Structure 1
Amino acid sequence: MGTIGTLTLVLVLAPAAAIVLILLIGRPRAAEMLNLAASALSLLAILGILAAKPTTELTFWGDYVVIDGLGTWTILCAAIVYCLASVYAVGYMRLLGEEGRLPRFYALFAGFGLSTLVGPMMNNAGLYWIAIELTTLISTFLVAFEREAASIEAAWKYIIVVSAGISLALLGTVLFYWSGTFVLGPTYDMTWKALQEIAPRLNPSLVSLAFLLVLIGYGTKVGLAPMHTWLPDAHSEGPAPVSALLSGALLNTAMVGIVRYLAVADAAGIATLARGTLLALGAFSLFVASMFIVRQKGLKRLMAYSSVEHMGVIALGFGFGGPLGTAGALYHMLNHSLNKSLMFFGAGAVMRAYQTKRISRIRQVMRQLPMLGALWLAGAVAITGAPPFALFLSELAIIRAGLAKSNYALVGLMAVLLVVIFVGFLNHFRAMYFEEDEAGARTIAPVSLWCLLPMGLALVPLLVMGLWWPQGLWEHFQQIAQALDATRPTGGAP
């Protein structure tokens, strides 16, 4: 099996073993530590895989599992969020007064983390669909964990809307398989590489329909507008560590499917339709997010619409394509995962401290919670794409990719909407930090170190990677871009 195969096994078995042990032991403190240990092992495993630098695509277990550039990068994003959220959950979940139900929560949380790690390594389009559906089933129970009317309603909306979208993705998968039967016969292994190799010989009309179905289906899971309607409710009503995993890990895992099918569409000769549609959805997501962010009144819903915004930015990056577009989108995936985790961690702690979700009732955060306030404010500046943080570099790379493709109007629209979001988002923080509290003096409970530590751990790389784009990352992104579309030329580092 080799080193990479062993590390892949550790990556999967760590959270799987944690689930079993948590359910067998059934104690809250043990559940916390087992889930935390599993998340740390998974993160170390994927870092080990990346450090090994596999030069070619590797497959295991009957070619059902693939270790390639795109998959490992997405797994890295998910593993980082899973680990940070597991640290944060120790402090946050103790505040809910649900000690007896914590083992169940951590078993589900480990299962959710496992599903986001497994999805990107599925080398069969059908198995990938199953993995994405599994994320839906597990995370629905986590969204409804607090058992309040709003959280239960959000869970129902989540599973209904997302299942409808995933059903369309299944139909698109079936059509892709059917189109392949005209080339390879009635039965064949539906691997991503096989689809990409036979794509030039597939019926363009059938492939176009199939791609649009999977784009809408997985786009629903990604949260691209107008299929985003589940996202604000689910992200805002679930516990904060669940919201972080939903936004920072799950959305990227679903985006992988779109990107892999986009490579097939390029090879099939329908790049204009495929990329044009993805660009349109990305731009519309930015527009919708900007409108709702400016007028938002709920704290976690503000963070949720920010996720819609950044998934739109990533969609634009992959839609523009080329070395810069792909690199910018991949870099943005990691940056958004780190930054949005930080923002949901801060939002969860502030909501618990102030006992409200309404922005208008949260005031003088820096005075009341100095350490958390400083970390959260830095994260708010970073999430708007302002320098010197990493999202500025990834967004700049995507804008440069659009200009290189002569998409001047779309780049102009993107720039305008990003400015609107910058002003609208930070205006909410201006009110929460600098407006006087009409309720007068109040006693705010201190925030646990378990909640502060992952915020700091997320902020440091955002600052470092905003000042320095490592050459090794650029080379890794170049390899991924070449694998997705070998016909596109590569260039120098940005």
Structure 2
Amino acid sequence: MITMTNSIIKILPESFLIMSIILTPILSGILVTIFKKKRFLEIFSVLSTAFILFLTFFLFLYIVDFKKITLFNEFFYVDSLSMVVLLLISFVSFVSSIYSVNYMGKQYQDGLVDDKHLVRYYQGFNIFIFTMILVPIINNTGLLWVAIEATTLISVLLIMIYVKEDAIRSAWKYLIIATVGLSFALIGTIFFYYANIHDPLSTVQPEEDKINWTNMLQNSKLLDPMIIKIAFIFIIIGYGTKAGIAPMHTWLPDAHSESPTPISAMLSGVLLNCALYGILRFHLISSGSIGEEYSANLLVIFGLLSVAIASFSILFQKDMKRMLAYSSVEHMGIITLAFGFGGLVGIYGAILHMINHAIVKPLMFFANGKISQKYETRAMSKIKGIFTIMPVTGVMFLIGGLAIIGLPPFNIFLSKFMILYSGFSSNNNILASTVLIILLTIIFIGFIRNLVMMSFGKPKTQIDNGELGTLSIIAMGLLVVFIIILGMYIPEPLDTLINDAVKIFKVV
């Protein structure tokens, strides 16, 4: 594969790939500002996300062969862990842009958004992608914080796109909680930087480089353990707030439930992973400085607490979109817990679960969006007979629902199994793994009950049979294909990428 990659890089150098990936959503945002016709807005956004996905695929092949890229004196740094997050951003953005055509088109047709707000939506959509792309490729930990904060500001505007009282209230709640949380992350970043500039090599290395993640990791064994312990607590609370980790998750159900469905899919599928990526980078520095036990134990505690809170919230939930939001809290908790478990199988399972959740959850939000538009409600008690009214959407909704609770042969079953195997393989994690199984059983009961109730039965009111939007079906169909494939087989290049990312955690 290296020979093929060398040929590609001669045509598309890595500097071109990275800069094009960064600049494409900005260009698309400018174009939708200039050409304000609805059809142009849709075409520019779909083409730009398709181009980003195309470029990301070639960058992925490069990383699989050469493991990392550094550009502009290590200002940009992409390794296998970065590449996982970047792949998810590009793929989920692409399917969300396709889905947006029909979904926002129906909102426009029904008068829920006008021309001005439709332009704002596509402007925000493209800039949102830009801010998320910056997160996994920036080496500077200070600018990493800036990029994650920028995702907050732009996503707040997208949540308020309908200019409804509930949406505005949810957006303000999200803005306040996320900003306060991220202020903790900023303090934690400053502490890490302070520890790095006071190591014995500070007279040898330029201080402006010492805020870079690669520099901190290189010097991790020399950092003051007490400062690192305090700093990581600030990091996990700060970035954990944005990642939807309990008990800092309170903004998430409101924000997800009030935002446009494609934005909910991006919030859940990739934005949460961007914040988790920030935690993982500092977890690696902390592990290098004081050993992995300290930060790993914190990850296990917060992860298990997230699953616990989500389980009982899902069990008694009545609103479909809020149920999916609490499911995001659950799965971010599972991923966090798995990174805390550690080990080869645990880390591999955690990274695979990041990928699997980022594929399944957009499908669930997409299906939910079409169902809510058709039934004109989000109350699960009022939704019956999806299979009769919308058979194609109903099948995909059921597949997504069975996948999200971890049933075989779908993708999440595999990553959940690996995580549980890792937990029970370590005497230190048997209790946490046992509690996790109990909580997952509660979630299974809550989800399966609602899935059966909504999918079958007779609709309470007269609703015309038929699907809503061919492009929406295509977007959901793409996700279903990957859910099934990854449930049975992990393609070799992806397996190599995940294994390389596992090695970053010093697991052999």
The Cα of 1:445 is off from its aligned counterpart by 5.9
Match of 1:142 in 2: 158
Most deviating of 102-111 and 57-66: 57-66
The runs of 5 or more residues in structure 2 that have no matched partner are: 1-8
* Cα contact 1:353–1:444 (8 A) shared by 2: no
Q: Which amino acid aligns with 2:366?
A: F
Match of 2:61 in 1: 51
- For residues 477 and 80 of structure 1, the distance between their equivalents in structure 2, rounded to whole angstroms, comes to 17
Match of 2:366 in 1: 345
Could you give the per-residue CA deviations for residues 243-286 of structure 1, whole angstroms, max 9, x where no partner exists? 00100110111111111111011101142221101111111111
Asked if residue 96 in structure 1 is aligned to residue 107 in structure 2, the reply is yes
Secondary structure of residue in 1 paired with 2:273: helix
- For residues 217 and 280 of structure 1, the distance between their equivalents in structure 2, rounded to whole angstroms, comes to 16
Match of 1:267 in 2: 288
The Cα of 1:446 is off from its aligned counterpart by 3.3
Most deviating of 86-95 and 195-204: 195-204
* Cα contact 1:342–1:455 (8 A) shared by 2: yes
The Cα of 1:476 is off from its aligned counterpart by 2.1
Secondary structure of residue in 1 paired with 2:161: coil
Of 445, 449, 470, the residue aligned with 2:491 is: 470
- For residues 468 and 193 of structure 1, the distance between their equivalents in structure 2, rounded to whole angstroms, comes to 33
Q: How does 1:364-383 map to 2 (within 5 A)?
A: 364-383=385-404
* Cα contact 1:247–1:340 (8 A) shared by 2: yes
Of 266, 272, 277, the residue aligned with 1:245 is: 266
Structure 2 CA distance for partners of 1:484 and 1:5, relative to 1, 3 Å: farther
* Cα contact 2:188–2:235 (8 A) shared by 1: yes
Most deviating of 290-299 and 473-482: 473-482
Secondary structure of residue in 2 paired with 1:66: strand
The Cα of 1:99 is off from its aligned counterpart by 4.1
Asked if residue 304 in structure 1 is aligned to residue 314 in structure 2, the reply is no
Match of 2:300 in 1: 279
When normalised by structure 1's length, the TM-score is 0.96
* Cα contact 2:189–2:231 (8 A) shared by 1: yes
Could you give the per-residue CA deviations for residues 134-155 of structure 1, whole angstroms, max 9, x where no partner exists? 1000000001111111111110
Match of 1:79 in 2: 90
The runs of 5 or more residues in structure 1 that have no matched partner are: none
Most deviating of 139-148 and 409-418: 409-418
Q: Which amino acid aligns with 2:295?
A: A
Q: Which amino acid aligns with 2:160?
A: A
Q: How many residues align?
A: 486
- For residues 399 and 460 of structure 2, the distance between their equivalents in structure 1, rounded to whole angstroms, comes to 25
Q: Which amino acid aligns with 2:448?
A: L
Of 127, 131, 141, the residue aligned with 1:115 is: 131
* Cα contact 1:323–1:477 (8 A) shared by 2: no
Q: Which amino acid aligns with 1:7?
A: L
Match of 1:315 in 2: 336
Most deviating of 456-465 and 316-325: 316-325
- Matched-pair identity in %: 34
Asked if residue 8 in structure 1 is aligned to residue 18 in structure 2, the reply is yes
- For residues 413 and 349 of structure 2, the distance between their equivalents in structure 1, rounded to whole angstroms, comes to 10
Most deviating of 169-178 and 421-430: 421-430
Could you give the per-residue CA deviations for residues 364-417 of structure 1, whole angstroms, max 9, x where no partner exists? 111111111111111110111110001010111111221233211111111121
The Cα of 1:197 is off from its aligned counterpart by 1.6
When normalised by structure 2's length, the TM-score is 0.93
Q: Which amino acid aligns with 1:314?
A: I
Asked if residue 291 in structure 1 is aligned to residue 312 in structure 2, the reply is yes
Asked if residue 481 in structure 1 is aligned to residue 470 in structure 2, the reply is no
- For residues 52 and 345 of structure 2, the distance between their equivalents in structure 1, rounded to whole angstroms, comes to 30
* Cα contact 1:354–1:444 (8 A) shared by 2: no
The Cα of 1:115 is off from its aligned counterpart by 1.2
Match of 1:412 in 2: 434
- For residues 85 and 450 of structure 2, the distance between their equivalents in structure 1, rounded to whole angstroms, comes to 31
- For residues 291 and 175 of structure 2, the distance between their equivalents in structure 1, rounded to whole angstroms, comes to 32
Could you give the per-residue CA deviations for residues 336-381 of structure 1, whole angstroms, max 9, x where no partner exists? 1110000000011111111111111111111111111111111110
Could you give the per-residue CA deviations for residues 416-457 of structure 1, whole angstroms, max 9, x where no partner exists? 211211121111111112244333x33356311121111110
Match of 1:64 in 2: 75
Of 429, 440, 447, the residue aligned with 1:425 is: 447
- For residues 430 and 339 of structure 2, the distance between their equivalents in structure 1, rounded to whole angstroms, comes to 16
Match of 1:384 in 2: 405
- For residues 324 and 39 of structure 1, the distance between their equivalents in structure 2, rounded to whole angstroms, comes to 33
The Cα of 1:469 is off from its aligned counterpart by 2.6
Of 128, 135, 149, the residue aligned with 1:133 is: 149
Most deviating of 322-331 and 124-133: 322-331
Q: Which amino acid aligns with 1:77?
A: L
Asked if residue 40 in structure 1 is aligned to residue 50 in structure 2, the reply is yes
Match of 2:5 in 1: none
